[in-house]
Amino acid sequence: MAKIPLHFILNGEERAEFVDSGATLLRLLRDKTGDLTAKSGCLQGTCGTCTVLVDGAPRLSCITLAEDCDGADVETVAGLAAHGQLHPLQHAVMEHFAAQCGFCTPGMLMAAKALFLTNPRPSREDVVEALSGNICRCTGYEPIIQAVLSAAQVMSASGPGAA
């Protein structure tokens, strides 16, 4: 099978990897970069746990082709914490008990991060809409919604650029 060289940015770092032609971004991340934060759930675009940001937009890495991400800026949950400090979203998830088994959490956090990029002060309705492609079988969603709303508050209090 043909191996294709790809260059892209992963969480701010330049990367070069070979992938099998036709592979998904999820396979590139998990098999080649060692970043296991995007989860392999349904592989059908339905559960959202594989959500990452590609050039700032939320994408389901299980149905995104790796070769379409050549030259792209890819962000996963592994890049959320900076300088040893948890991101406000990660803090809020702990405080609001918004992760139980944790399988949906990476996708939820990236969907929330995508929301903050376009809408730093979301309403509850905006949060529900932003997380609507992400399934959680444990929490009943409410703690996750509360965590995202609370992180938005913390971040807008600490000024623009916090996302």
Partner 1 sequence: MGLSYRRFEKVSAATSFLTEEAGACVVGGGTLLVRRVNEGDAAVTTYVRVCDPEMKRIDEADGRIRLGALVTMAQLLGHPGLQWLAPAARIVGGPAIRSAATVGGNLFAASPYGDFGVALLALGAVVTVHGAVGVEEWPLAEFFARRDSLPAGLIVTSVAFTRPEAGTFRFVKASRVKPKGAAIVSIAAVIARDAGRVGAARIAFGAMAGTPIRASSFERALIGEQLITATLDRLEPHVTEGTTPPSDAIASAWYRQAVLPVHLRRLLLPEIDG
Per CB under 6 A, residues contacting ligand FAD are: 45-46
Query: How far is residue 116's CA from residue 118's CA, in Å, rounded to a whole number?
Result: 5
**Of residues 65 and 78, the one with the C-beta less far from ligand FAD:** 65
Site for ligand FES in 90-129 (CB under 6 A): 99-104
Could you tell me which of 132, 127, 124 has the C-alpha nearest to residue 51? 132
The CA-atom distances, in angstroms, between 50 and each of 42, 85, 154, 155 are 9, 23, 26, 24
Which of 2-10, 85-93, 134-142, 149-157 is the region at the interface with ligand FES (rule: CB under 6 A)?
A: 134-142
Cβ contacts of residue 101 below 8 Å, gap of 6+?
137, 138
Considering the complex, what minimum distance in angstroms separates the CB of residue 10 from ligand FAD? 24
Give phi and psi for 145, each to the nearest 5.
Answer: -60, -45
**Of residues 105 and 150, the one with the C-beta less far from ligand FES:** 105
Residue in this structure with the two tokens 């992760």, named with its chain if needed: 99
Considering the complex, what minimum distance in angstroms separates the CB of residue 62 from ligand FAD? 10
Considering the complex, what minimum distance in angstroms separates the CB of residue 128 from partner 1? 7
**Of residues 29 and 50, the one with the C-beta less far from ligand FES:** 50
Considering the complex, what minimum distance in angstroms separates the CB of residue 83 from ligand FAD? 36
Query: How far is residue 54's CA from residue 52's CA, in Å, rounded to a whole number?
Result: 7
Identify residue 139 by its one-letter amino acid code. Answer: T
Q: How many residues bind partner 1 (CB under 8 A)?
A: 33
- Chain contacts with partner 1 (rule: CB under 8 A): 1-2, 4, 20-24, 43-45, 48, 51, 57-60, 62-65, 67-68, 111, 114-115, 128-134
